[in-house]
Amino acid sequence: MNKVEVEGGIRNNKNSLVNVTNDREAYPKRWVAALVHTNCEKKVATKLDKLGIENYVAIQTEEHQWSDRKKKIDRIVIPMVVFVRLAKDEEDEFRRLPFIMKFLTYPGTNELATPIPDEQIEQIKFLLRHSESPVAFSAHIEIGDAVRIVKGPLKGFIGYCCGVRNSDIAIHLDLLGYATTHLSKDCIENVMM
C-alpha cells in the first residue's frame, strides 16, 4: 500500500485521493460571503488572518473635515460582510467558528455558501482603491449601457452606467447587488459588451 509521511505520523495515501486527485485539487478555493455581527468586520478579519484564512473586508478610506481638523476614516462599504476564500469542503467547519453567523446564499439553493467569482472580488478591490467619490451598495439598481472610464484614477475600468444621472458606474456582485460611485460624464464612454 502506498503511504505518505505527514507531520505527526504516516497516513494511507489511498485515503487522500478523490477521483485520482488529492483533496486540494478536487476542491479549489473560492470566495464566499460570511455574515458577521455588526461593527465586527475588522475584528473578524484579524482573527481570520491569525488562523491563516484568506479574507477581504470591503473598506474605503475617506477624508472627513471638522471645523478644526481633517481626519482619514476607514468606512466599511458592505456592513456585516467578510469575504472569505475557502475550499467547498472547508465551509462547514468554518461556519462553526463562534464569530461567523452564516454564509450568504441565494434563496432556495442547496449550497452552504454561494461562490463569488474571483473577477468580481478583484473589481470591487480596484474600485475601492481608486474611486475618488464614495462607493455605495444597492440591491436594486437599473442597469444601463456598459461604459469604460477614459480618464482619472479609474481609467480603463469597465462597468455599467446606472441611475438617473447616467454618470454613476456600477459593479455587479452576484448575491450582494451593485457597488456604485459617481463620475463626471466626460470621464466615461460607451463600449460594446
Distance CA 161, CA 168 (A): 6
Most trustworthy range by pLDDT among 9-13, 40-44, 89-93, 100-104: 40-44
Q: What is the pLDDT of residues 101-136, one digit of tens each?
A: 999 887 777 888 889 999 889 988 988 888 877 877
Average pLDDT over residues 171-180: 65
> What domains are there in the chain, each with its CATH number?
27-116 (3.30.70.940), 117-193 (2.30.30)
Percent of the chain with pLDDT strictly greater than 90 = 28
Looking up cell 481608486, which residue turns up? Answer: 130
137 touches 179 (CB < 8 A): yes
Average pLDDT over residues 89-105: 91
pLDDT for the residue 48: 96
Q: Residue 193 carries which side chain, given as an amino acid letter?
A: M
Give the pLDDT band (50/70/90) at residue 44. very high
